[in-house]
């Protein structure tokens, strides 16, 4: 186990150094190509987003497409792992069918949708400014259906462990239907949360840290190594995302992280009751996407806003709470949720061992 931990630490250290070196050059290239952020003018329901545009006008012109750096770093690390395996320095590459095929496929595939959206946004091809919500939803549905079918028909998983509320509950054909909607919800929750400097990056780093601990305890060390690399790149990203940000995550990163996290959730569900603790861990993201969904419903149903702005972090901005204050308080709450989640999982493991 110590040998595995040493490998994970070495991979993550190499990844963070690589990302730290690549980011400045990457940002310069994006600026030269004018691949930068433009502030949206319309809300999800079609009205003019006057308040949002006013609050975030200063962010316009900041490079985006963070996902590109992870792609570069991960491809390098996978290539290095093949070389190390060839010379018998390690036993497995990072591209492992049992542990990482589905999560890496999910990360790269879902990121493509966000990458296309980011690219159309910054280039404004023809009359297209962003992929339409309907187009992105179709793409998310196709990829989400794939991952649900994979777990159901390839891995023969048709149950969810609802510990401590219940044990393993067999869902049959309803399993892919439920995981389909869970995946879409997770992806949208991360994407909606990504509009303040440091916010999504910090919260996701903490969430992924918890998953790294759980995959390590589950003895899926290759998956833990991939998680460690992702966390390392996120740490490097946050160095350049500190307010005022020099680069943003945006759709390409948020979409990819969402599917990556969903895949890990279903993989861990095969070994332990992770769904209920995950609701606690992902609580802030659930509040964000819930407030946004409620706002959209209220405007469509009652033809008026429920909140002056949504999601919640924008509402706090509207109440003149500084961006830095919002992010710092959210980070503290996320660490608390992470601690509660880990305590719950450790308690569950102890019960299993005692029995």
**Alpha-carbon Rg for the chain in angstroms:** 20
Beta-carbon neighbour count of residue 24 at 10 Å? Answer: 12
In the three-class reduction of DSSP (H, G, I as helix; E, B as strand; rest coil), residue 34 is classed as coil
- Please say whether the beta carbons of 238 and 194 come within 8 A: no
pTM above 0.85, yes or no: yes
Give the CA distances from residue 278 to residues 28, 67, 182, in Å, rounded to whole numbers and listed in that order.
38, 24, 12
Angle (CA) 321 325 328, round 5°:
150
- Please say whether the beta carbons of 27 and 63 come within 8 A: yes
Print pLDDT tens along the chain (355 aa).
666 888 899 999 999 999 999 999 988 888 887 766 655 555 555 555 555 555 555 556 677 776 788 888 988 999 999 998 988 888 888 988 778 888 888 787 777 777 676 666 665 544 444 455 566 677 778 888 888 888 888 888 889 988 888 888 999 999 999 999 999 899 889 988 877 777 888 999 999 999 999 999 888 999 999 999 999 999 999 888 887 778 877 777 788 888 899 989 998 887 788 899 999 999 999 999 999 999 888 888 888 888 888 788 888 888 878 888 999 999 999 999 999 999 999 888 776 555 5
What are 288-295's contacts with CB under 8 Å, separation 24+?
A: 288/189, 288/192, 288/193, 288/312, 288/313, 289/185, 289/188, 289/189, 289/192, 289/193, 291/315, 292/44, 292/192
Q: Which residues are CB-neighbours of 225 under 8 A, at least 6 positions away?
A: 7, 8, 11, 12, 94
State which residues form the domain around 113: 2-354
Which of 22, 36, 137 is CA-nearest to residue 68?
A: 22
**pLDDT score recorded for residue 127:** 42
Number of domains in the chain: 1
Q: What is the DSSP letter of 36?
A: B
């Amino acid at each position: 186990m110590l040998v595995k931990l040493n490998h994970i630490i070495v991979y993550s250290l190499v990844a963070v150094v690589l990302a730290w070196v690549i980011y400045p050059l990457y940002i310069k290239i994006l600026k030269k190509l004018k691949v930068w952020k433009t502030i949206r003018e319309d809300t999800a329901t079609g009205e003019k987003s006057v308040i949002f545009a006013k609050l975030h006008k200063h962010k316009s012109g900041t490079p985006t497409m963070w996902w590109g750096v992870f792609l570069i770093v991960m491809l390098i690390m996978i290539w290095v792992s093949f070389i190390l395996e060839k010379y018998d320095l390690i036993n497995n590459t990072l591209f492992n069918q049992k542990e990482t095929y589905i999560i890496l496929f999910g990360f790269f595939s879902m990121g493509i949708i966000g990458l296309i959206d980011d690219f159309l946004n910054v280039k404004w091809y023809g009359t297209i400014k962003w992929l339409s919500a309907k187009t992105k939803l179709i793409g998310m549905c196709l990829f989400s259906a794939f991952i649900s079918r994979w777990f159901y028909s390839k891995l023969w998983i048709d149950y969810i462990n609802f510990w401590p509320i219940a044990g393993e509950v067999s869902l049959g054909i309803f399993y892919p239907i439920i995981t389909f909607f869970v995946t879409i919800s997770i992806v949208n929750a991360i994407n909606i949360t990504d509009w303040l400097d440091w916010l999504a990056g910090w919260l996701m780093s903490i969430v992924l840290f918890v998953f790294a601990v759980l995959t390590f305890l589950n003895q899926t060390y290759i998956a833990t190594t991939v998680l460690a690399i992702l966390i390392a790149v996120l740490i490097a990203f946050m160095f350049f995302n500190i307010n005022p940000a020099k680069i943003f995550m945006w759709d390409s990163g948020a979409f990819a992280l969402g599917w990556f996290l969903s895949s890990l959730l279903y993989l861990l569900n095969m070994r332990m009751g992770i769904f209920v603790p995950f609701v606690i861990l992902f609580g802030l993201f659930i509040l964000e996407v819930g407030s946004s969904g409620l706002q959209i419903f209220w405007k469509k149903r009652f033809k008026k806003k429920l909140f002056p702005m949504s999601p919640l972090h924008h509402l706090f901005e509207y109440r003149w709470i500084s961006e830095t204050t919002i992010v710092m308080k959210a980070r503290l709450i996320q660490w608390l949720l992470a601690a509660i989640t880990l305590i719950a999982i450790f308690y569950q493991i102890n019960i299993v061992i005692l029995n």
